[in-house]
């Protein structure tokens, strides 16, 4: 699809205190945490090729007590990341989730990757 090459690719990484990830994780589990204000923004910007580039080596140990939710999605227009407040980002990602026809969730014991 030629249109996809014109799309802007984005990554949003949210974190929360380590949570028990359900065996059959759903998008409602994630949106519930966002709606209750239990997540914080770790990164919001252009798609990251390698997460190892984002996480500092000394943070790996600390991250064992944190759950991460990595969102990958495309938009037709670029996003002015720096102009959005944390509540703007929460509302934005909830809207992207609502509009997504296909949501691919992959989880391990503490983190979830979401392709919208």
For the chain (116 residues), the mean pLDDT of every run of 10, in chain order, is 65 94 94 96 84 58 84 94 96 96 94 96
Nearest alpha carbon to residue 59 among 73, 38, 42: 42
Element containing residue 69 per DSSP (H, E): strand 66-75
Instruction: Give residue 57's pLDDT.
Output: 59
Neighbours of 82 (CB within 10 A): 7
CA–CA dist 59, 23 (Å, integer): 27
Instruction: Give residue 86's pLDDT.
Output: 95
Distances (CA, A) of 113 to 25, 30, 34, 43: 11, 11, 15, 14
What are the residue ranges spanned by the domains of the chain? 2-115
């Amino acid at each position: 699809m030629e249109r996809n090459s014109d799309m802007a690719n984005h990554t949003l990484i949210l974190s929360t205190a380590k949570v028990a990830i359900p065996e059959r994780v759903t998008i409602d589990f994630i949106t519930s945490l966002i709606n209750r204000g239990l997540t914080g923004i770790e990164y919001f910007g252009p798609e990251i090729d390698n997460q190892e580039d984002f996480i500092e080596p000394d943070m790996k140990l600390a991250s064992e007590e944190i759950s991460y939710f990595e969102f990958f999605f495309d938009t037709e227009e670029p996003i002015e990341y720096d102009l959005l407040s944390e509540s703007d980002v929460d509302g934005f990602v909830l809207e992207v989730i609502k509009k997504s026809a296909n949501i691919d969730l992959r989880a391990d014991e503490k983190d979830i990757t979401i392709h919208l």
